[in-house]
Chain A
Amino acid sequence: MADRFDLAILGSGSTAFAAAIKATDLGAHVAMVERRTLGGTCANRGCLPSKNLIEAARIVHDAAHPRYPGLTPARIDVDFPWLIAQKDDVVRDYRAKKYASVADALAGFELVEGDARFTDAHALTVGGRAIEADRFLIATGSRPAIPPIPGLDAIPYLTSDLLDADEAGRLTELPVSLTVLGGGYVAVELAQLFARLGSRVTVLARSGLLSGYEPALGETLGGVFRDEGIEVLTGARVERVAGAEGAVSVAVELVGAGRIVRSEHLLVATGRRPNTDDLVLDRAGVELDADGFVPVDVRLRTRVSHIWAAGDVIGRQHGSQMATPVGARQGRIVAENALADAGRVFDGTVIPRAIFTDPPIAVVGRTEAEVRASHQPAAAATTPLQYVPRAGAIHKTTGFVKLIASTIDERVLGVHMIGESAPEVIHEAAMAMRYRAALPDLVDLIHVYPTMAEALKIGAQAFSRDVTKLSCCAE
């Protein structure tokens, strides 16, 4: 028997939940369809479990490498299966509190488990059950992209799904050695995590680390990686892979040389692709772009007027980013637009973003290259963190902050930071950009002394003064 809903949501991640909460608040009858674990990538196999393990790895690393003269290095033994078990507990607890119990409390809401396939523009089938709806939201997220490397389909390999608590592909033994394919944010976070827990790690990046970001961020991180004993091979073109369980080899073409990299495990972290292949969207009249993303307008509507898409499945359209809080914002917008005809537009101008390496990276706005390409008159200033008092006080001077500002009105166009607390500091920069603040605004604000947020005040002064000569509190 068919069930009819006001809104059917495909997926159960942050995008889907934000939409469901708003839609049920409006009085809608909502169906949510999920084929994997409730909560999506972030909660189960992304941001949350990775941040849990990264902090544990930092504790291990800091004990072995105290930055302070006078502190003796200490060795912390890693019980990897136990560490993974506590991570699984954290994930399950978070999933129960932030997803399952939230879903239970929603009125007019039903969770349907199974694969969703469109049968026509107003109907899905999920495991033989027909679900009809007046409106649909495609929020099925993304998964690790698997590059077409000869031999890869014949050997076992890991992806970021290794972080999952309950699904196949999870990892419970610490790899003795690990080869990481990719140089993006997932690759660098996991490479450092495993290296710090005791794996011998080699990173194979096609270009540099973190391409697409300000180049100096990846260069600085590469230096840190090399100091920590992580081998980073850039300009690496992987020709083929071979091997078996517990012994893989990767043939790499480097600039002017070839090499075979051997390790116990291979981790493929070369990007993410949208989960749109199995939805039979053409039966609903929705066409995908060449990479599988769902084309939408600025109100997140597809070309079929009652079908909407949000989160990772829309890729980078309209300034969007594949990130948990971006999807959540979009899910809410879709609920309001689809049900209440609110006409809300997604604005991706100011989206702070962080990479949780150590030192961490955080960015907001445009890179210098992007600003130059737009022919906007602008200037950039890079301030090493050695000029930030707190960084010196706690022996954490690795890193810099780079500000890009308009030379017409001094408005901040982009902030790029690698260093202690960057993911916290970036919110001040994001708020500054949201309210169209100019460099003097960052300078005029009294900052707590000594904090890493002073990096913004000092970084803004670097456009007009010699910051190497500043006294206390950067006045």
Chain B
Amino acid sequence: MQGVIVVQPIVYIDLGVGGMTCDDCVRKVTDTLESVPGVNRASVDLEGRSAVVEASPEVGPEALTDAVRAARPYNAFVRRVRTSRDG
């Protein structure tokens, strides 16, 4: 019997993130993003004031920025949405 390969589509959402000052902030923003349903992984960059979020296409970018905003004092905007890691 052959195995079934399920290809899960993924989008990459680039965020600008404001208000982070230290690694603790990076952890908080990462946890916040990864707790949004549909998000697989978030990598947050303190220096670049940004985050790349891997998520299923159903995840609306506004859900991500709303979550970051709710985790005061952080704030975020959507820089772009990509369909591939390099695109």
Contact = CB atoms under 8 A, between A and B. Distances in A.
Interface of A: 6, 24-29, 107-108, 134, 339-341
A361 B11 CA distance: 58
Given A6-B16, A107-B18, A340-B65, A25 B49 contact: no
A40 B50 CA distance: 31
Contacts of A25: 18-19, 75
A24 B75 CA distance: 9
B51 to A, nearest CB: 9
Given A108-B49, A340-B65, A28 B19 contact: no
Nearest to A339: B77
B82 interface: no
A412 to B, nearest CB: 36
Contacts of A134: 79
Nearest to A30: B16
Interface of B: 15-19, 49-50, 65, 75-79
Contact of B49 (A107, A339, A340, A341): A107
Given A107-B49, A340-B65, A26 B18 contact: yes
Nearest to A6: B16
B19 to A, nearest CB: 7
Contacts of B15: 27
Contact of B79 (A6, A24, A341): A6
A160 B75 CA distance: 40
A290 B39 CA distance: 51
Given A27-B50, A29-B49, A340 B18 contact: no
Contacts of B50: 27
A459 to B, nearest CB: 44
**Top 10 A-B residue pairs of the complex, sorted by shortest distance between their CB atoms:** A27-B16, A27-B18, A339-B77, A27-B17, A26-B77, A25-B18, A340-B77, A28-B16, A26-B75, A27-B49
Contacts of B77: 6, 26-28, 339-340
13 contacts: A6-B16, A6-B77, A26-B18, A26-B76, A27-B16, A27-B17, A27-B19, A27-B75, A28-B18, A107-B18, A107-B49, A108-B16, A340-B77
B84 to A, nearest CB: 20
A29 B16 contact: yes
Given A27-B17, A28-B77, 12 more contacts: A25-B19, A27-B15, A27-B18, A27-B50, A27-B76, A28-B18, A29-B16, A108-B18, A108-B49, A339-B16, A339-B77, A340-B78
B68 to A, nearest CB: 9
* Central interface residue in A27, A29, A107, A108, by most chain B CB within 10 Å: A27
A34 B49 CA distance: 24
